[in-house]
Structure 1
Amino acid sequence: MNHGTEFSLGALAAVCAACFTNPLEVVKTRMQLQGELKARGHYTVFYRNTFHALYTVAKYDGLRGIQSGLAPALGYQISMNGTRLGSFQIMVDMGLTDGVDCTFCGFLRTLLAAGLSGAVSNAVGSPFFMIKTHIQCKTDSKIAVGYQHTHKTMYQAVKEIVGHDGVKGLWRGASAGTLRGFIGSAAQLGAFTSTKKYFIFKEARNKCNIYHIFVEDSMMISILASMVGGISLAFFMTPFDVVCIRLYNQRTTESGKGMYYKGISDCFRKTYRSEGIAGLYKGWEPALIRIWPHTVLCLVFWDCFRDAYYKWNKSKA
């Protein structure tokens, strides 16, 4: 499979998944900004949990509000996951992750390959992620959290950001996004690939007790591996996701500098000092609820599209 096809299939899989999970991304973003730099009990709780948040958004913003920021979200998925899954598969095809099913060094190589693909892809998709955050945060003043940016559409956001900070303003906070991408991708793809190869390795030797449940090339192996990847992603990435969201959404000065945080370490420090460890895990619930179906859908779509392409390509030969 050529590199262009790998990128295209990765992007297509991510877009399909995002259409289903974007509402959870909306409530996750708002819950992560709720009570920013305030101790528990010193701010109004507009979003008590995932389902209450979905109800509240629908009540004040309408059903369209549930899917707010979908355009930049899809743009982010195309640019980020297309690059991430495509580049990761290229590294797998090059043999950089060989031995993951039986050697610790192979597992580390998989984590590194997944992390690097995540870091590069998040740097590429950073402008879309920032615009998505701005639009998903914007809401009725009665339930507003975080700084409320004025733009309502992706085009308007690009115009305002470039007009205020120049083209470089589109990559404000990209360093946090890159770190988030490295940690999240290493956790997700590392767990997904390791789990999948473990079961395939065991089944090939008829030593796994699920051998009689999963047939060869069963989609259930991909689904189970995706769920493990989703849990790993939610646990390791949430603190970095909170910091990333806050850096992207903060108000800036005329010179383009953040008014709340100077950078990644400053945001971590201020959030922990004001809100404790719970502050760094805000939005954990919708993140996990979103990540599970998104990870499963994205990686299963990816596997299915790649299998279908291989079969189609083989039939042409």
Structure 2
Amino acid sequence: MLTGVAAGLIALAGTVSAETLRLSNWLPPSHPIVKDVMVPWKAAVEEATEGRVTVQILDAPLGPPHAHYDLAANGVADVTFSAQAYTPGRFKTAMLAELPFLGDSAEAVSVAYWQVFEERLAAAGEYAGVKVLGVFTHGPGHAFAKGRDLSSLDGIAGAKLRVGGGMANDVATALGAVPVQSPSSKAYELISGGVVDGILFPFESVTFFRLDGLLDQGFEVPGGLYNTSFFFVMNERRWNRLSEADQAAIDSVSGEALSRLAGKAWDEADAAGRSALEGQVELHVATEEQMEGLHQMLDPVIDAKLDEIATSGIDAKAALEDMKARIAAESE
């Protein structure tokens, strides 16, 4: 009996000593970032640390999406994720991953982004108070509309398009559209109510937010009109309290591994989204002539963004060339 009690006390001690990280989540459980990225990452952390560290994905967020960086930095939550564009001007280097024409694969862009972040962008010091666990992007963004002919660029000019901010806002403006900044969760309401004519979105988001029954035209741009960058971070003090062994274990399933996991999830979701639109949305793929027109309108935006990134102390042009080369290598 004493042996059994001792064994129970040892098991209890092991349970009590386990570290639990609270992850604040602001997306529905069915969203690819949650079910295909956060949930697998949680399982990977727990396996890599042999159960010494567990992750609790909270049922309700501890604040709005734009507050999630500060929630981690201030220790309100242990782990958070969000889009850098939700806090304009704060994360200048993230714009490198949001530029037009970067690539057709979220996995390739995300992996290249992490590598360039680690070697070049982190030096800008934009992520104070946190341990950066990963950075990644969603799939390439395209234009979609209701009741407008998107077979030519003229169909975009003058259209009111919902955007999430960041690069998408600048792209919409450069194309002659009127950007309407709003959370993605409001997209259905805005389009069904006629407040906007369309949206800039990746394929996945069109179907996830049930817009396939509202939109009837799409304009697909090879390489994408834009990407949206995301961060995944942990409170720095909380990170420092972990043992070196557990830090190494978490690192082994984060960083490039996490960026690749997220990119793959987006690519699979985009492929499913694109297939779901067949027969419902008339999709126009940009021609060579249209691509030339897009470059004329968007290359100045790219140059302006590179100048802005450079104010963070980064050689922005070298970083972009490095990232393009890594994307090409990943895409082979």
Asked whether the two chains share a fold, i.e. TM above 0.5, the reply is no
**Higher CA-based Rg:** 2
Give the TM-score band, short-chain normalised. Answer: under 0.3
Normalized per residue, which structure has more helix?
A: 1
TM-score, with structure 1 as normaliser: 0.25
